[in-house]
Amino acid sequence: MLSITNLTKIFNPGSVNEKAALTGISLEVEPGDVVTVIGGNGAGKSTLLNMIAGVFPPDKGKIIIDGQRVEHLPEHVRASYIGRVFQDPMMGTAASMTIEENLAMALRRGARRRLRRGITNGDREFFREKLSLLGLGLENRLSTKVGLLSGGQRQALTLLMATLVPPKLLLLDEHTAALDPNTGQKVLELTEQFVKENNLTTLMVTHNMEDALRVGNRTIMMHDGKIILDLSGEKRKNTGITDLLEMFKKASGQTLANDRMLLAN
């Protein structure tokens, strides 16, 4: 479903701030795979997701989604393949617009915007049904402005928007990190539910080692713009958090001494 070959990105080349964000990454993801991505700060996880989504073009390398070369397509064109949820709950929704308007925009993801009514009564029925899956009571608040919702509610809504039209690829960038633990857990449960129902091919960046091993069927670890570990199948099942930290140390020569990662367990 997703095939990445030799993807390279260097920020500010030739200056003192030169930063090799991705150094020749290759990755094959099968349809229906749910891959969790872990790694320290600056490992290139977010850059990888941004490159796949098309926020900036690669210096070198190929990205193929569902048989289509996409690395030179602009972000808004790639949007027809990709659903995204960002770390910041404010980033995935338009605050001054209502819940139903936000959902209506998500319903037209990748389609041409026309001069026809943005929301039909049929859409509203569909939105109510989908919103009730979130269990937050939002199905009765269709015309509430999104800015009035809490961070957790907005993130759940963003998740629903990203999967409303099932994308070929779902990109989740630490999407529970900015939420309190209970809300984060709830959003993660919803994520697993939506991914399973639609059999979505997913890349999920997380800093929570436990989630990284529990959610999905494959885990990759990044360091310094490279993939240093790729776990799946039996091997992944038999790996614990301490094993993971040990593997990181062995592969990178450093400890994954990140309070946030350890405390998150």
Partner 1 sequence: MAASMWFGVLEQGLLWGVMVLGVYITFRVLNFPDLTVDGSFTLGAAVAARIIFEGYDPWLGTMLALFCGAAAGCITGFLNTRLRIAPLLSGILMMIALYSVNLRVMGGKSMLSLLRMDTIYTDVVGTGIPENLAAAVLGLGTVILTTYILYIFLQTELGMALRATGDNEQMICSLGVNTDTTKILGLALGNGLVALSGALVAQYQSYSDVGMGIGMIVVGLASVIVGEVIFGTSTLFRHLTAVVLGSIVYRAVIALVMRMGLPTTDLKLFTAVLVVLAMSSPLIKEKLGRLSRGKEGSQGAVNNKSYENI
Binding segment (CB under 8 A) for partner 1, from list 3-11, 15-23, 61-69, 97-105: 97-105
225 in contact with partner 1 (CB under 8 A): no
Question: Which of 212, 192, 264, 217 lies closest to 45, judged by CA?
Answer: 212
Could you tell me how many residues of this chain bind partner 1 (CB under 8 A)? 34
Binding segment (CB under 8 A) for partner 1, from list 102-110, 175-183, 205-213, 253-261: 102-110
Question: Which of 35, 46, 25, 22 lies closest to 169, judged by CA?
Answer: 35
73 in contact with partner 1 (CB under 8 A): no
State which of residues 118, 135, 181, 240 lies at the interface with partner 1 (CB under 8 A): 118
Does residue 112 sit in helix, strand or coil? coil
User: What are the residues whose beta carbons fall under 8 Å from the beta carbon of 125, sequence distance 6 or more?
Assistant: none
Contact 33, 219 (CB under 8 A): no
Contact 241, 209 (CB under 8 A): yes
Q: Which is nearer to partner 1, 95 or 257 (CB)?
A: 95
Phi, psi of 35 (to 5 degrees): -105, 125
Q: Which is nearer to partner 1, 169 or 261 (CB)?
A: 169
The span from the CA of 32 to the CA of 1, in Å, is 8
State which of residues 101, 173, 174, 211 lies at the interface with partner 1 (CB under 8 A): 101
Helix (H) or strand (E) holding 48: helix 45-53
63 in contact with partner 1 (CB under 8 A): no
**Binders of partner 1 among 128-187, rule CB under 8 A?**
161
Binding segment (CB under 8 A) for partner 1, from list 16-24, 90-98, 193-201, 235-243: 90-98
The residues binding partner 1 (CB under 8 A) are: 53, 74-77, 79-80, 82, 84, 86, 90-97, 101, 104-106, 108-111, 113-119, 161
